[in-house]
Structure 1
C-alpha cells in the first residue's frame, strides 16, 4: 500500500500520465503533476490542466500541479525543495514516430536533455526511485516475435523517437551502476489505447493524431472525413501493420505495480518490463472492431508507408506477470468501447465543456 507516499509524475496531464494519476490516487498515493502542456490542454498557461480537474472530480482527491518544463532546472528544483517526494514516474516526452523523423533535434533535446535534467535534480535532492515510461520501439526491427526483455535493444531502431527511449534507458543503467542507491524500472509499452470507463478522461492529441485509435475515433465522431492507413504491403495477415494494443487502464495499473517493487529491499539497479497483451492486431482488424463498438462507419484510404514504421510488433509480458504480478485484463472490445465512450462524450476532446 501507498501509506501516504508522494509520487511526482512528469507529463501527468497527458494521456497515459493522467490515467496513471487516477490509479495512484485510488491506491492512496499523494500525486504531484508536472506538465508543460505540449500534449495536454488547459484553459490558460497558468490554469490546472483540464484532465487533472476532471480527475479531481472523478476521485474526490486533490492534485498538486505545476505547469513547467522539466528542462528548466531551477523550476524543477523548486518543486523538489517544496515537497517530500518518494518516487518519480517519468512520462514527459514527445512521442510521435513520424514527427521524430521530421524533427529529430526537437526529440533529442526534449526527451534526452529533459530526462538528464530530471535525473540531476532527483540526485541532488536524494530522490532515487524512478519508473520510466519507455517503449517497444527500443527493440528496433524485431529479430524474433514475441518480443521479450532479453531481445537486443538499440540495434536497428527505426526512428529518432525510439532512439531517445533507448538512450534514456542507457543513461538510467549508467546512473544505477554509478550509485547503488538508485533503483529504476523501465516499462516498455506496446500501443496504449482506450480511455477511463467514466468517459471523463481519454486521449486528446493536439492537431492531427499520430496514433491509430484517436484517428479512428475522430473519424467516427465526424471530426475527420477518413482514416489514412499507412501501407498495405507489409508481410502481415492483411498487409497492414500489426501491433500489440493495450488498454490504458491496464497500463496505469502496471505503473503502480512497478512502485510496489520498490518496497522489496532486495530490488536494486535497473530492470525493464514489457507491458502488452502478447497478441497482435492489424490496422484493419482494429477498424472493424471499432465499427462494431461504435456502430459507425469508418471510411479509410490506403496511403504510403510512414518512415520509421515496422511490420509487426507484439509482446511477451510473462516477466511482468512473474515479478510484478501484472497482466493485461481488457480485450479489444473494451478498448474500442471505452474509446468511443470518451470520444462521443467529448467530440472536441478536453475543450468539450459539457462532459458528464
Structure 2
C-alpha cells in the first residue's frame, strides 16, 4: 500500500517539485495550500499542481486549507491516514518579515504548533521540516556545517525558522516516538527540466536568480547588485545555489531516513560551492545568450558577504548529494522563463 504523505504549502516553488518527486517515488502526496504563494489553475487546483499532474500522468489530491485553521486540519487528518508530513507552509520574504514581524510569527509559529498538535492527536509522528540556512546568521566560519551556532538571525523570517527548529527538537526530546528531519536549505534555483514548473515570484522578485531571469527575458530593465565592496573575490555577495530538483530529492532521502526511527536530525542541503552575484550573472548570460544589464547600488541591510554549505553529513547519512551544476541550474531556469515569461499566469 503506497504511503500517504501530507505536504503543507505544496503548491509553492519547492513544494510542487517535492510533490512531483513523491509521486515518482511511489508515494501518494496529499497537498494543502492557501494560495498565498500560488496561482489558481483549473479544476480548483493550483496551476503548479495542474502541471505536475500533466508531467506525472496521475491525479494529485489537493485541498485549499490554511494551517491556522485548526478545525479544517482536524477534519483532514480524520479523512486521511498519513504516514508522514512534509512541512513547507509559511511566509518566506526576508524583507517583508522585518516590516511585518507579528504576521510572520503568527503564521509560521502558530501554524506549525497547530500542525504538530493535530499530528499528535492523530498519531502521526514523522515530519520533514523546511528550514533554512538563515538560522546560522552571519557565519563564524565557512563552509557551514550543522554544528555551527544557530539563532543569530538578523530578521523575523530567519528567527521563525530557528524557533520552529527548537520547538521540534524539544518535542522529539520529550516524546521519544517522534522523528523529525530539519532540512536547512541554502539557495534553491532552477526549475524542472520540462519547463512546466518553476519559481513564480508574485510582484518584484526577492531572490537574485528570478530577477536575473526576468532581466534576461526583457521583463525588467536591469538588475541592482547590492554592494561590490564585500571581502569576496569580486566584491559581490557569495551564496550556495542548489538546483530545486536536487533539493526535492533530498526530501525523499529524508523521508526514508525517518523510517529508521532516527529521532531529530538536522541536515544542510547545499552543494558546498559558493558563487558570487557577478558569477551568477555571467552563468545566466551563457545559458540565455542575452546580455544582463546591472547597476551596483548600496549594500542591503542584513546581507552577509558569503554563505555556503558543508553538505557532507547529508551525503554520509542520507546518501544524498547534489547532482546538478551551475550550468544546468541556469539552463533549466532559462527554459522555464522563456516558456513562462509571466510565470504561471501565462494561462
What residue in structure 1 maps to residue 228 of structure 2? Answer: 232
Structure 2 SS opposite 1:278:
coil
What residue in structure 2 maps to residue 204 of structure 1? Answer: 200
Whether the 8 Å CA contact 1:146–1:316 is kept in 2: the answer is yes
Q: Distance in 2 between matches of 1:149 and 1:214?
A: 28
Q: CA RMSD in A?
A: 1.1
Structure-1-length-normalised TM-score:
0.95
Structure 2 counterpart of 1:253, from 234, 249, 255 = 249
Structure 2 SS opposite 1:175:
helix
Whether the 8 Å CA contact 2:181–2:258 is kept in 1: the answer is no
What residue in structure 1 maps to residue 50 of structure 2? Answer: 53
The runs of at least 4 consecutive aligned structure 1 residues that moved more than 3 Å come to none
Structure 2 SS opposite 1:172:
helix
Whether the 8 Å CA contact 2:41–2:50 is kept in 1: the answer is no
Structure 1 counterpart of 2:125, from 123, 128, 148 = 128
The alignment status of 1:35 with 2:29, answered yes or no, reads: no
Q: CA deviation at 1:43?
A: 4.2
Q: CA deviation at 1:348?
A: 0.8
Structure-2-length-normalised TM-score:
0.98
Q: CA deviation at 1:308?
A: 2.1
What residue in structure 2 maps to residue 324 of structure 1? Answer: 318
Q: CA deviation at 1:259?
A: 0.5
Q: Distance in 1 between matches of 2:259 and 2:31?
A: 22
Unaligned runs of 5+ in 2: none
Q: Distance in 2 between matches of 1:308 and 1:125?
A: 41
Aligned length: 347
What residue in structure 2 maps to residue 81 of structure 1? Answer: 78
What residue in structure 1 maps to residue 346 of structure 2? Answer: 352
Please show how residues 96-107 of structure 1 align to structure 2 within 5 Å: 96-107=93-104
What residue in structure 1 maps to residue 306 of structure 2? Answer: 312
Unaligned runs of 5+ in 1: none
CA distances 1:243-296 after superposition (whole Å, capped 9, x unpaired): 00000000000000000002224x2x2110000000100111100000000011
What residue in structure 1 maps to residue 215 of structure 2? Answer: 219
What residue in structure 2 maps to residue 95 of structure 1? Answer: 92
What residue in structure 2 maps to residue 64 of structure 1? Answer: 61
Structure 1 SS opposite 2:199:
coil
Structure 2 SS opposite 1:335:
helix
Structure 2 counterpart of 1:4, from 2, 5, 10 = 2
CA distances 1:154-207 after superposition (whole Å, capped 9, x unpaired): 1x2111111111000000011111211110000000000000000000000111
The alignment status of 1:244 with 2:240, answered yes or no, reads: yes
Whether the 8 Å CA contact 1:101–1:308 is kept in 2: the answer is no
Q: Distance in 2 between matches of 1:321 and 1:249?
A: 16
Q: CA deviation at 1:229?
A: 1.3
Q: CA deviation at 1:101?
A: 1.6
Q: Distance in 2 between matches of 1:62 and 1:43?
A: 14
Whether the 8 Å CA contact 1:194–1:339 is kept in 2: the answer is yes
